[in-house]
Amino acid sequence: MNGTGTAAEDRVFAALANATRREVLRLLRERGPQPVQALADHFDMRRPSLSEHLRVLREAGLVSERRSGRRRIYRLEAAPLAEVQDWLHPYERFWRDRLKGLGDLLDRMPDDEPS
């Protein structure tokens, strides 16, 4: 990545910024593919609002939709999440190195003697 995300990366991060959409992804991860109504049962919102969240997730490539008769079945698509992990990895490494440095410093400090 060159410091500015692509439009696809920006869509993924924008989709993940919303708690409802993250919850939809969690439900799909834990329970597998589900029809819209099963997902809607988990939220206190009107179905058109949930459909909008699903549209955002679909456009970000985080879910796919399949029709089964009159039902729409949604499925988690994890590949874009791997790209997020790749983006986050340098920050994880940064903090791991910082905490290791703090641990090393604390290990070098003399223990306090009880008074």
Sequence ranges of the domains in the chain? 7-77
Q: What is the largest CA-CA distance in the chain?
A: 77
Confidence category of residue 82, pLDDT binned at 50, 70, 90: confident
Across 38-42, 77-81, 110-114, least confident range: 110-114
Q: Compute CA distances 44 → 33, 47, 54, 55, 83, whole Å.
A: 20, 9, 15, 18, 31
CB 28 within 8 A of CB 74: yes
Confidence category of residue 60, pLDDT binned at 50, 70, 90: very high
Q: What residues have CB less than 8 Å from 32, skipping those under 6 apart?
A: 75
Confidence category of residue 7, pLDDT binned at 50, 70, 90: confident
pTM recorded for the entire structure? 0.72
CATH of 7-77, one of 1.10.1530.10, 1.10.10.10, 1.10.645.10, 3.40.640.10: 1.10.10.10
